[in-house]
Structure 1
Amino acid sequence: MAAPNPPVEQLRARAFTIPTEEPESDGTLEWDSTTVVIVEAGSGGRWGLGYTYGHPAAAAIVNSTLAGHVVGGSALSVGASWDAMVGAVRNIGWPGVAAGAISAVDVALW
């Protein structure tokens, strides 16, 4: 039987840069690859998956900063994990890369 309030046991992120078949554009910028950051959260033998698009630094923020505030906490208290992550990036900067990292973890926890 699973624990009634299982802890998050693992949190890991990896970044993958995927080339596009040809250059893409949105009318203002042009690019030839897209980076996706994949986050996996593990608890009680189950895994959640979240992702964001952005810079590979988002994976580094998850692994070096956010994991220490999420692992060990309740896997069912996603709101508390979100609050802890927002506090953890206070001096890094909430908007941008850090917000993308938090959003990928948040989705993985659900």
Structure 2
Amino acid sequence: MTVYVDDVRHSFGRMVMCHMWADTRGELLAMALRIGVSHRWIQEPPNASWVHFDISLRKKALAIKAGAVLTDKYGPVEHTARLRGDQAKLDQIARIRAEQPKERLL
């Protein structure tokens, strides 16, 4: 089981945010507690596509230091496709990644 953070950068006021999610809700909430993110900020259906937190880049660094895996911008789509068993979407993501030049994440 794993916690993930992506390399997206969304502005929220003066902060820059990314996403944090996990294979299980329990693991996600444990990481949130560990890095100081209030559970009240959890995003989940029907208001979000998947269960996750929007976290600041400072919290992202803490999560990575605590063992979270850094993914690219397709990580959340890949995660939801896995949950749904959508092999066609997983194949599409793999093709897109293979066609892109390797970029440094962070």
| TM bracket, shorter-chain basis | under 0.3
More strand per residue? 1
* TM norm structure 1: 0.25
